Structures are given as C-alpha cells and as structure tokens.
Amino acid sequence: MNQAMNERMTMKRGMHMTMTTTALAALLAAVPLAARAQACEVAALAGEAARVVAGQAQPLKVGEAVGEGVQLRTGANGRVRLRCPDGSSLVVGDRSQLTLTKLNLGAGGAGYGARDVSLLLERGLLGQKVAPSAAGKWEVRTPSAVTAVRGTEFLVEVGDNEQTSVHVQSGQVAVLPGPRAAGRTRGLGAQLPVVVERAGGTDCDVSQGCTASTPWPAERVRSAMDRLAGV
C-alpha cells in the first residue's frame, strides 16, 4: 500500500514539473525576440572605466555584458572596447561619456527585425567599426550632430564646447546638425547631410552647423587614434 502511494506521489511530482516546464517554455515563446535584451561584451579595458546604474558608478569588468540604457564613463586614462554580436565593435576613449540609448543589433534571428542602434556621446571620443547591414540604422547623436551609417569604420569626438568632429577611416557616413545646432541654424534653410567618405572629416558646431568634408591632416588623425589605442 505504501509503495502504491509513493508511486502516485512520484507521478504527480513528475506531472507538475512537466507542466511547469511547459508553461515556462510557452511564456518565453510568447515574448517577441525583439523584446529580449541584446548586449555587447566588454572585450578589453584600461584605466578608469565604469558603468552608471541608478546614478551610481560601478567599475567595469572584462567579459561583462552592457545593454540598452547603460551609460559608460571613462577617466583621464580610461579606455573600453566593446564587442557586439553582429560583428561590430566600439572603443570608448578617455574622458568620455556614452549612453547605449537603443541597442537592437538585429543579430539572433528574424524575430529581432532590422538593426536599430542609437548611441549618445555627450563628451569624449568614440571609435566604431560597424559591421555591414542591408537594412536598419546605426546612429550616433551628440549635442551638435547626428551621424548615420550602414557599415563603416569611423570616429566621433565631442569637445568641451560641444563641437562634434567626425572622421571616416573606411566607408561613408552621413552627418547632420544635431537638435541644438538645427534649432539655431533653422533660418539658414533646410539642412542637408554632409557626406563624409574615407580619409575625410567634418566639424559641427551648435551655432554654425557642419562644415564640408575635407581630408584631415595626418597628425590630427594620429592624435585621435592614439587616444583609442591600448585596448
């Protein structure tokens, strides 16, 4: 009799576990893939580098995942390299503040949809190698400019006066005046994007908009790249 009761209890526990597992699987299946967080990985870092959570700075660690909404800050000698699942990579230079405003990398299946990445660089330097994508967008916003690319290698720098500088190592980048610059230059007519190609650069100011694309001197390029080296 005891054996029969034990068998019935064992069967009930097995049925309960099966139902629980099935329910969890159904719940996960009901969540759109696009709603599941994607993240880039801290591949390397040097110096002072932190992520800001609820207003509190926490030191970054190699191997740590950083996803949508995370803000990264670096100190005087800080650098951070991020590796993303779509094959793109970013290097945050010294004295920088970057927020991953939107991070749908379009990697992981059709359910994620087209790539939709928006980064906010409030100060400092950001180097990027963006993997080619047939659809979607990858943009970097600053106080004085907005850059848009599909696949290229370029850097964006925001100075103390909120001036934005963009330089392209390969591919092509479209640069528009940012919200503050667009508001102050509205009287100049419609603002067309400045198209910057390989070895070219532009400087955007909150009062004057963006300059035409011109080649950067080798010394200026080398100085910027040195600030991204070491990670």
Q: Give per-residue pLDDT as tens, 101-136.
A: 999 998 654 456 789 999 999 999 999 999 998 889
- Could you read off the pLDDT of 173-220 as tens digits, one per residue? 999 998 755 444 444 445 789 999 999 999 999 888 999 999 999 999
User: Among residues 202, 149, 152, which one has the least CA distance to residue 177?
Assistant: 202
Residue 126 to residue 73: CA distance in whole angstroms: 12
In 63-185, DSSP assigns E strands to 65-67, 71-74, 79-83, 89-92, 97-104, 115-130, 136-141, 145-149, 152-158, 164-170, 172-177
Q: What pTM value is reported for the model?
A: 0.81
Amino acid at 174: A
Structural tokens at position 82: 């991020």
